[in-house]
């Protein structure tokens, strides 16, 4: 079970993937897609679709987004996928950083899609202070 990280910012997505790999270990596959066409801040529907396609194999992946149009881009991309691809992806309604860390560690323990999704979504309830 892997992760897909979708952000308005390529460095943000890449940095988060790096942090997740450090905490969760290197065995959790992470697809990263950040920024708009031409390296701007934003979203790029084509690249989001490609990232989801790459992740929609085997045990699949949990998809995490940062804000607004990232969410819309993921929804639009999901609609483009074949049923068997879509069935391998779960979209997390979760804070991006905490959700990705929690999901990554849970995935690294071999938990299934439900467990990984739950870990991501429970992240919003864990206090920092």
Partner 1 sequence: MSASSELAVLVRLPAEVALHARPAGVFVREAARAAAEIRVEANGRSANAKSILDVLALGATGGTELAISACGADAAEALERLSQLVAHLT
Please tell me the distance from the alpha carbon of residue 98 to that of residue 49, in angstroms, as a whole number.
Answer: 24
Please tell me the distance from the alpha carbon of residue 25 to that of residue 39, in angstroms, as a whole number.
Answer: 29
Q: x/- binding map, residues 5-34, to partner 1, per CB under 8 A?
A: --------------x--xxxx---------
Looking at the Cβ atoms of 23 and 72, the one nearer to partner 1 is 23
Q: Is 81 within 8 Å of 90 (Cβ atoms)? A: no
Closest by CA position to 52, among listed 75, 68, 69: 75
CA dihedral sign, ordered 50, 55, 56, 61: negative
Please state the closest distance from residue 124 (CB atom) to partner 1, in A: 10
Which range binds partner 1 by CB under 8 A, 2-10, 35-43, 76-84, 101-109? 101-109
- Should residue 128 be labelled a site residue for partner 1 when binding is judged by CB under 8 A? yes
Interacting residues toward partner 1 by CB under 8 A: 19, 22-25, 98, 101-102, 105-106, 108-109, 111, 119, 122-123, 126-129
């Amino acid at each position: 079970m892997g992760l897909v990280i979708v952000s308005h910012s390529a460095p943000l997505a890449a940095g988060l993937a790096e942090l997740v790999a450090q905490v969760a270990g290197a065995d959790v596959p992470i697809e990263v897609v950040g920024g708009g066409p031409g390296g701007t801040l934003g979203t790029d529907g084509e690249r989001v679709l490609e990232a989801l396609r790459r992740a929609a194999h085997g045990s699949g992946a949990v998809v995490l987004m940062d804000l607004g149009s990232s969410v819309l881009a993921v929804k639009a991309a999901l609609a483009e996928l074949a049923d068997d691809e879509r069935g391998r992806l779960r979209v997390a309604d979760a804070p991006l950083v905490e959700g990705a860390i929690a999901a990554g560690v849970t995935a690294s323990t071999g938990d299934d899609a439900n467990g990984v999704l739950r870990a991501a979504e429970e992240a919003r309830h864990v206090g920092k202070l």
